[in-house]
Amino acid sequence: MRRAGAYVALTKPRVIELLLVTTVPTMILADRGLPSFGLILATLVGGAAAAGSANAFNCYLDRDIDEVMNRTKRRPLVTGEVTPRAALVFATMLGVLSLAWFALVVNVAAAWLTFAAIAIYVVGYTMILKRRTPQNIVWGGIAGCMPVFIGWAAVTGGLSWSALALFGVIFFWTPPHYWPLSIKFKRDYANAGVPMLPVVSDDKRVAAEMIGYTIAMIACTLALTPLAGMTWVYTAGAAGLGAWFLWATIAMHRRAKDASRKLNAMKVFHASITYLTLLFVLVAVDVFLPF
């Protein structure tokens, strides 16, 4: 059981949970109702396997970084519970199985999008961007946006402007979600030589950029109303949630300008998770409203 738990840890289950939270509401919106249980289950199984594969590849490639960071020094490749070769084989098999699963059980469009998601995260983010640019999480975060494309394609066989708006929501949400975590662990990232924005810039600049990304994110949530024909309930809810999260980033920026005040970056990190979860609940519920 311990060995099995180590392999599960390689997949970063907590990250997968957040990805799947966005997939089901996207499928409901694409279907304008509730897709078949079989299709939802097949998409979630394939998506979890694909995300697990990408995360396992990330653990394999970043094992040198994980070894010097307090946050990650207990990961299986650092502790020796799993060997690098075994992790590489596991990640590869999981990825191949996820692609075959999507192609055979869901559809080919979803399979290609899944391949793109894995490639962007493993090659684009982990191998190219992460150690080279402070904007690594911005462009690498595209991989985290792909579940909405995959979920949409699983239902419709293609994409639409509505899917692009949802993609934009997660794309612009990612920096204000991840940078507060990077602020908390900035010493870890600095020791590992990873140039996260909070490592190379002061907290005021980081918070200011978070505000900008949050405004763009809110614009995408509101653009969904005309694109997908959402009701006033969704529109009002999205605006309210957006205003709440925007205020959290503005408050963080104000604290960053005052050295005597505690930054409370992790409060914004947790707020971002609550925000995204509630927003996608709104997306799903709005489809079933009778007006």
For the stretch 163-190, pLDDT in tens is: 999 999 999 999 999 999 999 999 999 9
The secondary element (H helix, E strand) that includes residue 205 is helix 203-228
Q: pLDDT-based confidence at 3, cuts 50/70/90? A: confident
- Mean pLDDT for 26-42 is 97
Mean pLDDT of 13-37: 90
What is the predicted pLDDT for the residue at 5?
A: 86
Q: pTM here?
A: 0.94
User: Is residue 1 pLDDT above 80, yes or no?
Assistant: no
Q: What would the pLDDT profile of 249-266 be if each residue is shown by its tens digit? A: 999 999 998 876 778 899
Instruction: Name the pLDDT band for 233 (thresholds 50, 70, 90).
Output: very high
Three-state SS at 237: helix
Does 1.10.357.140 match the CATH number of domain 1-159? yes
CB 158, CB 109: distance < 8 Å:
yes
Q: What's the Cα-to-Cα distance from 145 to each of 45, 116, 139, 267, rounded to whole Å?
A: 17, 11, 10, 23
Lowest mean pLDDT among 77-91, 98-112, 214-228, 246-260: 246-260
Residue 18 reports pLDDT greater than 80:
no
Tokens at 9, concatenated: 């840890």
Domains of the chain by residue range: 1-159, 160-291
Q: What is the mean pLDDT of residues 229-240?
A: 97
φ, ψ dihedrals at 202, nearest 5°: -80, 165
> How far is Cα 270 from Cα 183, in angstroms, rounded to an integer?
13
Q: What is the pLDDT of residue 260?
A: 67
d(CA 290, CA 195): 49
User: What span, in angstroms and rounded, lies between the C-alpha atoms of 201 and 204?
Assistant: 8
Residue with tokens 């950029």: 209
Q: What is the CATH number of domain 160-291?
A: 1.20.120
Q: What is the pLDDT of residues 57-86, one digit of tens each?
A: 999 999 999 999 888 889 999 999 999 999
